[in-house]
């Protein structure tokens, strides 16, 4: 009976976490950022506590620690006083914090580089997926029409911003979501639930763009990325594609669009 209750615990926490992350994002962008930060912080503490209390007795509890990376990502973006700094500095510092958190989690759970997809399996598939980033960025620009991040930056600043987007949003977010979180969720929950659940979390973290169409777009792209990562065992192609999507979305296409 005890083993059965443990088996039930992870799916319940998984589903509740998805709902709370979405709720926290709604509170952040539609009500008050402070309320959203409180919900994210509370969820982070709960997940860390669950992981600590059940780590030795229940290997399936690895999912609790993995899920904690999602609220941590939003806490970092909401709480760091970086708005006065150049955008490339902001992305670099927040990304470096998340990379350190991901590395710590890998060490705690004994995950190797191969375990989180840091291997160049199926190179042709990885390159093909990587180059999809530019058209995906164009499509997402047509949905969101964001202002260019590099509008007032010198050429060197544009290059630094592009590198920051590739490394600290493309690579780090793929490591967090498709490499660590999805990998553990699939082991604990099964591939269908793990794939859908983690990419639902990823899509919900885009609520702040106030576009239902973009959330659907991000969910579908995330599912494609996640499925390819599952099949190939590598996040390299998804990381390149994610980074190039953001470069096209926030730098290249807005500047070209405004010049037409």
Q: What is the pLDDT of residues 175-203, one digit of tens each?
A: 999 999 999 999 999 999 999 999 999 99
Token duo for residue 25: 């994002």
Phi-psi label, residue 112: left if phi above 0, alpha if psi -120 to 50, beta otherwise = beta
Assess whether pLDDT exceeds 90 at residue 2: no
Assess whether pLDDT exceeds 90 at residue 244: yes
**Domain boundaries of the chain, sorted by first residue:** 2-259
Neighbours of 94 (CB within 10 A): 20
DSSP code, position 170: I
Instruction: Write down the H helix ranges in the chain.
Output: 2-26, 33-54, 62-67, 69-79, 87-109, 123-131, 133-144, 155-164, 172-174, 182-189, 191-204, 212-232, 236-247, 253-259
What's the rounded Cα separation, in Å, for the pair 235 and 116?
A: 8
Token duo for residue 71: 């609220």
pLDDT digits over 123-170, tens only?
999 999 999 999 999 999 999 999 888 777 788 888 999 999 999 999
Q: For 60-69, 85-94, 95-104, which range has the lowest pLDDT when averaged over its residues?
A: 85-94
* CB within 8 Å of 77: residues ≥ 6 apart: 94
φ, ψ dihedrals at 213, nearest 5°? -65, -40
Total count of residues recorded for the chain: 260
Q: What is the pLDDT of residue 87?
A: 79
């Amino acid at each position: 009976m005890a083993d059965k209750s443990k088996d039930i615990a992870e799916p319940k926490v998984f589903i509740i976490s998805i709902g709370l992350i979405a709720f926290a994002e709604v509170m952040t962008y539609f009500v008050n950022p402070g309320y959203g930060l409180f919900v994210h912080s509370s969820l982070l503490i709960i997940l860390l506590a669950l992981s600590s209390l059940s780590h030795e007795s229940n290997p399936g509890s690895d999912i609790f620690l993995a899920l904690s990376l999602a609220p941590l990502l939003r806490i970092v973006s909401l709480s760091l006083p970086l708005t006065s700094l150049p955008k490339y500095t902001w992305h670099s510092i927040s990304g470096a914090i998340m990379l350190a958190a991901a590395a710590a989690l890998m060490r705690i759970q004994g995950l190797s580089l191969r375990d989180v997809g840091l291997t160049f399996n199926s190179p042709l598939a990885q390159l093909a997926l990587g180059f999809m980033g530019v058209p995906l960025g164009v499509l997402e620009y047509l949905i969101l029409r964001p202002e260019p991040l590099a509008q007032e930056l010198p050429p060197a600043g544009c290059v630094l911003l592009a590198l920051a987007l590739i490394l600290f949003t493309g690579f780090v977010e793929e490591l967090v979501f498709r490499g660590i979180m999805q990998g553990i969720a699939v082991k604990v929950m099964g591939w269908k639930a793990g794939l859908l659940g983690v990419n639902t979390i990823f899509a919900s973290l885009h609520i702040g763009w106030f576009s239902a169409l973009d959330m659907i777009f991000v969910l579908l792209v995330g599912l494609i990325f996640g499925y390819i990562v599952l099949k190939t065992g590598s996040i390299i192609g998804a990381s390149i594609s994610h980074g190039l999507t953001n470069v096209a979305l926030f730098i290249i296409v807005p500047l070209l669009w405004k010049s037409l």
